[in-house]
Chain A
Amino acid sequence: MFWITIRRIIKSGWINFKRSGLISTAAVLITTITLSVITALILFQAMLTGAIEVVKNKVDITVFFSINTSEDQILTLKQQLEQLPEVAVVDYTSADQEVLEFRERHANDYLTLQALDELGDNPFGGSFRIKAVDSGQYESIAALLEGDSALAKDNATLIERVNYSQNKQAIDRLNALIAGSREGGLAATILFIIISVTIMFTTVRLTIYTVREEIGIMRLVGASKMYARGPFIVEGFLYGFFAWLITIALFFPLTYLVNRGAGELLGFDVYHYYIAHLAVLGGITFVVAAALGFLSSWLAVRKYLNV
């Protein structure tokens, strides 16, 4: 009997969904907006993270070595630095490479190249470009190289200068921007989700308000609470399901157009990100759609069941 009841509830919910054409369409559209807001915010967060990564990759600390420092000493220091947990990458540029790059950069600057030639010896020492695991760790890495640490003391004669203090302002601004973007993005995400979920809940409540008397009639002709409530929950689930299908389909052209229009500017391929993460995004939005449809109907019907 249980399965017969479930079958009847599902059938009844489907028939109600089909017959309440305009109301069902309105509920599906509102749910679509809710899911679109959630999907857009997830993509926005990914885009923000992507943009921050791009900027972060442009920031580093450069360590310039004295010209008398041998390559062995530099490579030993490189190994020591790479063992530090806050250091992600250490790129070594030798003195010979430095002078080559300098010449390339000033290929059209005859006077500078002439001055370099007159010096005779290579005036450059080697250099490190150090990337931190997190942009907030540059200060501690710089302190290890410049301050009173054992590493700094051992290598004091090797290092000519560390450009952290020159980059400090840019790094600090970046850190503030990252923190601000994350907090702001999260706050906006939560706010938009609350607004759209509230609108969806209200829509479903209104659709059920229009049939509140019918719920009472069902109870009076002998329907149990579960039997009276069931079809409305199925309807709520169907709002979510169809809205989910529309949202998934809608974001293919939408992300494609955003990518075509502003992909390069943003430095983030939102279209391919959407396709690559479709399973995850689809899964999240499906769970949200099903839960919203189920919960909103459950709560809305509850009020009218006590007949």
Chain B
Amino acid sequence: MITFVNVSKIYQNGAVALEDVSLEIEKGEFVTIVGPSGAGKTTLSKLVLAEEYPTEGTVLFENVDINALPSRSITGLRRRIGTIFQEFRLLQNKTAYENIAFAMEAAGKSDSEIVSDVPHVLQLVDLQDRMFHFPSQLSGGEKQRLAIARAIINQPEVIIADEPTGNLDAGNTLEVVHILKKINELGTTVILTTHNKEIIDSVGRRVIALEKGRLVSDEVREIKESKRKK
């Protein structure tokens, strides 16, 4: 579904964020991308969203070169991808309801769909009582649950969660990981970036490790998870 072919990203100041990375993510996978700060995890997410362009190599989404897409098609691509960020990136001037409604409006959904779906998704993330609160009136965990609700409202094919638990306590972290697993069980591809070992262990599944912009390992950790279950 998503393919990186010999991708390198060098920023204007000369910093190498990614170096010759090649990988492939299948539809329905839950992939955790790990590595210390500066390993290139966020750059990798940004390349999938066409927020950044590779200096070398190609990023393909369903065999289409993302970087060759015109602006209008990039908007279409982003509607197929839900994004969750460490710093939440919510619209501060809009209520929880309006933040989600905005994503639906941008995708061209009708008023009746918005009226019926927004309260439903807020209930799914347990924010039904915070519907008309502004982001500044929500706790860190609530903000991230709102960001998740916004990311899934248009039923995207892929969810990119870039360090979604970075600003959360242990309880909220487990909750977010639980929600992401549920989303994946419903068939959505999930790409999660983190440097938190506990999260990696709790998720299991495929883990891609980056270090100084290079892909250093790509392994499946289902065994570890099944061992822990035992």
A-to-B contact residues, CB < 8 Å: 1, 4-5, 8, 12, 15-16, 19-20, 211, 213-214, 217-225, 227, 307
Contact = CB atoms under 8 A, between A and B. Distances in A.
A217 B90 contact: yes
Contacts of B89: 213, 217, 220
B78 A1 contact: no
A223 B75 contact: yes
B93 A222 contact: no
Nearest to A19: B93
B91 interface: yes
B78 A214 contact: no
Given A1-B108, A4-B111, A307-B51, A223 B93 contact: no
15 contacts: A15-B98, A214-B91, A221-B78, A221-B150, A222-B75, A222-B103, A222-B106, A222-B107, A222-B154, A223-B102, A223-B106, A224-B72, A225-B75, A227-B105, A307-B51
B71 A225 contact: yes
Given A221-B78, A221-B83, A221-B150, A214 B106 contact: no
B145 interface: no
Contacts, number: 53
5 A-B pairs closest in CB distance: A222-B79, A223-B106, A222-B78, A221-B103, A222-B106
A221 B71 contact: no
A275 B106 CA distance: 46
Contacts of B102: 12, 218, 221, 223
Contacts of A214: 91-93
A189 to B, nearest CB: 38
B18 interface: no
A211 B72 CA distance: 23
Interface string B198-220: 00000000000000000000000
Interface string B158-191: 0000000000000000000000000000000000
Interface string B106-131: 11101100000000000000000000
B106 A221 contact: yes
B132 to A, nearest CB: 13
B191 to A, nearest CB: 15
Contacts of B150: 221
Contacts of B93: 15-16, 19-20, 211, 214
Interface of B: 49, 51, 71-72, 75, 78-79, 83, 89-93, 98, 102-103, 105-108, 110-111, 150, 154
A1 B108 CA distance: 8
Max count, chain B CB within 10 A of own CB: residue among A20, A218, A224, A227 = A224
B109 to A, nearest CB: 10
A307 B51 CA distance: 6
Contacts of A222: 75, 78-79, 103, 106-107, 154
A16 B49 CA distance: 27
A19 B132 CA distance: 14
A223 B91 CA distance: 13
